[in-house]
Amino acid sequence: MKPELIHIGSITIYSYGLFILIGVVLGYLYFLKTSKSYGLTSDDVSGLFLWCVFGVFVGGKIFYFFENPSIYIQDPSKMLENPGEGFVFYGSFLFTVPILIWWFRKHKLPVWEMFDIVGVSGALVHAVGKIGCFMGGCCHGKICNNSFGVVYRDIHSHAEPLGVPLYPVQLWDSAIIFCALGIMIWMKNRKQFNGQLFLIYGLVYALGRFLTESYRGDEERGFLFGGLLSHSQFIAILVFSACLGIYIFRLKRYPKTDKG
């Protein structure tokens, strides 16, 4: 498995960046098409996406810092050695949510309705981006001794160790997100309250991520409680609990028809 996808003369197109770009374009187009009924223009949506990029970068980097704070306290410059790498999804997620709430309220938009659009749009970016992770070897799995393994050989790959089969955890995560995406699309015209689609995304991914974390091989991401849970598993429990609580609350408060 190689992180490069195409060579055009002296230009190298890297699979990780390419898939992230594809995901962003798909997410942008979906949000643009769906949000037109709320009076948003392409400039409005572009501005929102720039704010989201800011939240994704800052939140992802901050949570990345907490995976190994001792190293980055000694040498803070290491945090920005590779600006396009070193992100934690849940950090990006938790930082971007309040930015979205602020932006929607600023533009006098119905927050929960907009978050349903964000759920589908974000899942597109996330699911396709995970395929990029698989191609580049980041977020790789543990060594496995069965037919599920994928072997990385390129020295530029982020996978460790090279030359041995590793669980394709990135593809499992991508499949889970695509499942959440399918559920959201199916529920779009059947939802019982606004915000239901976004909460489904949070619930499905948190549960799936908790399970797939057990097969992750990048040990540097950090652990809690004497190695019982990884940072991401702990956050997944919190996110799942929060989404479930909000889901039940809104389902009881806004049954069948939603005005909140």
CA dihedral 152, 79, 236, 204 (to 10 degrees): -60
Average pLDDT over residues 100-115: 95
Q: What is the pLDDT of residue 57?
A: 77
For 48, 124, 210, 219, the CA distances from 176, given in Å and listed in that order, are 26, 12, 11, 22
Q: What is the pLDDT of residues 134-176, one digit of tens each?
A: 988 888 899 998 888 999 988 878 888 888 999 999 999 999 9
Question: What tens digit of pLDDT does each residue of 17-26 get?
Answer: 788 889 999 9
Contacts of residue 72, Cβ cutoff 8 Å, sequence gap at least 6: 65, 78, 79
Q: What pLDDT digit, counting tens, does each position of 6-56 carry?
A: 555 566 667 777 888 899 999 999 999 999 999 999 999 999 999 998 888
Considering the chain, what percentage of its residues have pLDDT values greater than 90?
Answer: 53
Lowest mean pLDDT among 70-84, 195-209, 239-253: 70-84
Residue 93: strand, helix, or coil: helix
Tokens 């040990």 sit at which residue? 219
Contact between 124 and 23 under an 8 Å Cβ cutoff? The reply is: yes
- What does the pLDDT read at residue 25? 94
Tokens of 143: 């060594």
What residues contact 29, with CB distance under 8 A and at least 6 apart? none
pLDDT of residue 230: 83
Which residue's structure tokens are 């399918």? Answer: 182
- Is the peptide bond between 161 and the residue preceding it cis, with omega within 30 degrees of 0? yes
Residue 123 pLDDT class (50, 70, 90 cuts): very high
